[in-house]
Amino acid sequence: MITAYIVGDQQVLERLRAVPDAVNSGLLRAITQLGIELQRDVQQDKLSGQVLRSRTGALKSSIDLRVDQNGGAITANVFTDSRYGGVQEYGFAGTVSVRASLRRITEAFGRPIGEKTISVRAYDRRVDLPERSFLRSALEDMRPAIRDGVEAALAEAVSQ
């Protein structure tokens, strides 16, 4: 008869029980860092000349990051709530209503005149704005770094 004893079985079981928590915290840290890098890339590269040039900075300052941990899933969302951002990201073709306004003119029929304020009535205008992706293109550019970052976080969590 052969008898075998396992030495350290409690330590092995404790180690296996700790793996999910280590993986979760490692992934949370990595995904948060990758989300921050993506947000920075959108603001500093895509909205500073690569895709769009910033005039007022409103779109750039509207880029936000939200990291959620829900039901075993960890997600990082880089987004804008600006309507202007959505139009730039996906493009727009359609008719827009322009409201009535006042306008100062200094020229009429190609000739200079004294400055005068005129009333412009409301009108509809056809708009065809091409797609200028700054969010999706930044995500696509970072795809390899995201994959490598998640794999490294998983490998580190499991090897500890």
pLDDT in tens, 92-147: 999 999 999 999 999 999 999 999 999 999 999 999 999 999 999 999 999 999 99
Q: What is the pLDDT of residue 8?
A: 63
Q: Say yes or no to pLDDT of 38 above 70.
A: yes
DSSP 60-129: HHH-EEEEEEETTEEEEEEE---HHHHHHHH-EEEEEEEPPEEEEEEEETTEEEEEEEEEE--EEEEEEE
* Residue 89 Cα to chain centre, angstroms: 11
For residue 17, being part of any structural domain is answered with: yes
For residue 68, being part of any structural domain is answered with: yes
pLDDT in tens, 40-79: 999 999 998 888 888 888 999 999 999 998 887 889 999 9
Q: Say yes or no to pLDDT of 157 above 90.
A: no
For residue 20, being part of any structural domain is answered with: yes
Q: What is the pLDDT of residue 119?
A: 95
Please name which of 76, 77, 72 lies closest in space to residue 24, comparing C-alpha atoms: 72
In the chain, how many H helices and how many E strands? 4, 6
For residue 46, being part of any structural domain is answered with: yes
For residue 117, being part of any structural domain is answered with: no
Q: How many domains does the chain have?
A: 1
Q: What is the pLDDT of residue 22?
A: 74
For residue 108, being part of any structural domain is answered with: no
If you average pLDDT over residues 10-32, what whole number do you get? 76
| Residue 129: other Cβ atoms inside 10 A | 12
- Domain coverage including residue 16: 9-91+130-159
For residue 61, being part of any structural domain is answered with: yes
For residue 38, being part of any structural domain is answered with: yes
Q: What is the pLDDT of residue 54?
A: 82
